[in-house]
A and B are shown apart, each in its own frame.
Chain A
Amino acid sequence: MSQAAANAMALGLQSCETCMLLTRPAAGAHEGRCPRCGSETHFRKPASLQRTAALVVAAAICYIPANLLPVMNTTTSSGSETDTILQGVVLLWSPTGWPLALIVLFASVMIPSAKILALGYLLVTVQRGSVRNSGQRVRLYRIVELIGRWSMVDVFVATFTAALVQLQPLMSIAPGPGLVFFAAVVVLTMLAAESFDPRLIWDPSSEQEADDV
């Protein structure tokens, strides 16, 4: 038996991303239409690299104000005070609160930056046609897809804190401008992960195998 892996695209076949039905598009066409569910089918997600790159760059740009601008404004009778995400982590850090501080640090600082870096790495290796570590790269992609949603934690923290602490004139908390950028980073990275096509990771190695035969 031949060990050469058969790629659906090499045989002119497309699988429907919605219902997984395998179909053959009209001769010469790049797009097809799934006869079962009616979705559009492609060999690869259209303009996957360009769209993912654009979304990652946008997310990276928003990431800067998200960390520099305050996410929370606290107004007390003695004055007002603003907190960025990192300052919020520091405030949470106490003998009893440190596990939560770690969670917030992880969800709001590490996950978004790791996602941007990971997607950037995937984009660069695919662009260069790398054939190495394909298995690890596809696993990295799945992790990015899986953990991305958890960055929303800080948005919910700010939402409920601001809604609850409305004890004017003693103390009130309002969401700051950083929160808008932070929410944008979460949404943009989630969209970027969605528009990346992991099949691109394997294409260079499949082509190489085809050449070797």
Chain B
Amino acid sequence: MIPDTYSQPVDPDLIACLDCDLLQRIPLLEPGASACCPRCGKELCRSRDDVKHRTLPLLLAAASLYAIAISSPMLGISAVGREASTTVFGGAEQLWRDGREAVAALVLFTAVVAPALQIAFVLAMEFAGRRQEPPRWVRTLLRHHVLTKTWSMIEVMMLGVLVALIKISELATVIPGAAMYALGVLIFLLAAIQSSFDPRAIWDRVEWAEVRRAGSAVQNEATP
């Protein structure tokens, strides 16, 4: 149950560590420096040196590599004169056909849906969040951004594909597909994007939820 009334904001320079609740003042940071909690060592904030211009090309590259990674063959096999290949979707489909629907859904979610949302959210926030007054939906995206990061498992899938490749190579000739190379580069791109994306800078500029509500409340009172 979310309370109807908004909480009162306190001093904007004060924050409490999310890992130990220690109240502290955010120091002024040099570009590229980060502030850590003195009690538990959690990184509280990092000041990014001007990386804004780098994020957009990285994002576009990541989006195209993602498209290649999910649409082209991941691994191919050639044995006894027969050839076959599979994509990420093919893998999930086979699981489904074998009666492991829940696992198929999990694979689709962690390997296809969550990475797509991760890239799309950051891309949308890059476009809209740069404006002086970011639109309201940016708040919703920012709120779910952490979740997409947690469940996007591109790098884990890469390792899984490598292990599968070596395993099968003892039975048949395995041919790495284009998707595997795309995945390999995508991992580094996503890591670079996450380290240059600064949610704090956007939070500092979003219109407060409470401001809109207070505005409409005043209007309601004015028209009894």
Residues of chain A at the chain B interface (Cβ within 8 Å): 5-9, 11, 13-15, 17-26, 29, 31-41, 91-92, 97, 100, 103-104, 107, 134-135, 138-139, 141-142, 149-150, 152-157, 159-167, 170-171, 174-175, 179-180, 183-184, 187, 190, 194, 198-199, 201-203, 206
Contact = CB atoms under 8 A, between A and B. Distances in A.
Nearest to B26: A20
A92 B102 contact: no
7 contacts: A7-B23, A34-B6, A34-B209, A40-B3, A160-B74, A162-B91, A163-B86
A202 B7 contact: no
A163 B5 contact: no
Nearest to A41: B7
Contact of B10 (A19, A22, A36): A22
Contacts of B95: 159, 162-163, 175
Interface in B1-45: 1-12, 14-16, 18-23, 39-42, 44
Nearest to A162: B94
Contacts, number: 246
Q: Which of A25, A107, A161 has the most CB of B within 10 A?
A: A161
B51 interface: no
Interface size, B (range): 35 or more
Given A6-B22, A31-B1, A156-B164, A38 B75 contact: no
B171 interface: yes
- Interchain residue pairs A-B with the least CB separation, the first 4: A156-B160, A35-B210, A8-B16, A32-B7
Interface string B91-123: 111110010101100110011000000000000
A7 B2 CA distance: 23
B67 interface: no
Q: Which of A6, A22, A170 has the most CB of B within 10 A?
A: A22
B143 interface: yes
A167 B84 contact: yes
Given A24-B8, A156-B157, A166-B94, A18 B142 contact: yes
Contacts of A154: 160
Interface in B131-154: 139, 142-143, 146, 150, 153
Contacts of A138: 19-20, 40-42
Interface of B: 1-12, 14-16, 18-23, 39-42, 44, 74-75, 77, 79-80, 82, 84-86, 90-95, 98, 100, 102-103, 106-107, 110-111, 139, 142-143, 146, 150, 153, 156-157, 159-164, 166-168, 171-172, 174, 199-200, 203, 206, 208-211
Nearest to A24: B8
A31 to B, nearest CB: 6
Contact of B2 (A31, A139, A141, A165): A31
B16 A23 contact: no
B106 A183 contact: yes
A165 B150 CA distance: 31
A202 B40 contact: yes
Given A15-B18, A41-B7, A149 B163 contact: no
Given A26-B3, A162-B98, A198 B19 contact: yes
A184 B1 CA distance: 29
Given A6-B23, A153-B160, A37 B41 contact: no
B7 A34 contact: yes
Contact of A13 (B10, B92, B156, B174): B10
Contacts of B42: 138, 142
A21 B139 contact: no
